[in-house]
Amino acid sequence: MASVLNISAYLFTRIDDTGELRPLLRERAVAAGLKGTILLAEEGINLFLAGDAQGVRGFVAELRADPRFAALTTKDSWSDAQPFGKMLVKVKREIIRMDHPTIRPEGDRAPAVAPATLRRWLDSGHDDDGREVVLLDTRNAFEVDYGAFDGALDWRIERFTQFPDAAAAAAPDLAGKTVVSYCTGGIRCEKAAIYLREAGVEAYQLDGGILGYFEHVGGDHWSGDCFVFDEREALTPGLAPRRGAVA
């Protein structure tokens, strides 16, 4: 049985002491035997960690004891081997770079669609108001090539900073439709949905991203695997490493 717990999580929340928090979180993570990456910015936290279940869950519980991180939720998967080589904690300008500082999800989140709701919409071919549903992949092109929702829009962006220009150009074609943006864990599609709504598009984010969809719904309306940024390379809709990757 797979014994290494892998988690991904993010939370947009105001952090004014990133410099002081960085060594503290690294010390806690190393003491818990964890490896992976934690990104800190004024806008929030983004983390990818792996280790034994007790160590991972203890670290997350201690993190949530800070009121700023109390709402942090994780996407969990398992592997036979540790997919990270070291433990890194970095301070960045943004936890996901968009180069649009007015997009601040910690202040006002875009509406989210639960995985079960999205599956129901896709099953029926429209949302609850009878509007056409458009799935929008906000990931980089090479990630999309591993797998995607059937029929999703793919703007072939090479980095997320290209998303705003692509969205501005496509906004007129999205008018009158219900757009659901999605990404691996939710962080990119959350910013994307806010940007789209400011451009006049009826946009929502997929709550929990692809990994959350896999966890709650499985692989319905999905083809392929989901790229992840560790040695597992990609996960199947069953949240198992793809064949040939680190198990």
Q: Please list the active-site residues.
A: 183
Residue 116 CB coordination number (10 Å): 12
pLDDT for 50: 98
User: Domains of the chain, with CATH numbers?
Assistant: 4-91 (3.30.70.100), 112-235 (3.40.250.10)
Under-50 pLDDT residues of the chain: 246-247
pLDDT at 96: 86
Strand partners, 45: 11, 40
Rounded Cα distance between 70 and 73, Å, is 9
Q: Is the pTM higher than 0.75?
A: yes
For the stretch 64-82, pLDDT in tens is 999 999 999 999 999 999 9
- What pLDDT score was predicted for residue 91? 97
Interior angle at CA 73, CA 20 and CA 206, nearest 5: 120
Give the number of other Cβ atoms within 10 Å of residue 143's Cβ. Answer: 20
Handedness of CA 97, 13, 234, 121 (dihedral sign): negative
What number of other Cβ atoms are within 10 A of residue 123's Cβ? 9
Nearest to 210 by CA among 237, 233, 191, 179: 237
The two beta strands, 4-12 and 74-79, are antiparallel
In tens, the pLDDT along 212-222 reads: 999 999 999 99
Taking CA 237 as the corner, what is the angle to CA 56 and CA 196, rounded to the nearest 5 degrees? 90
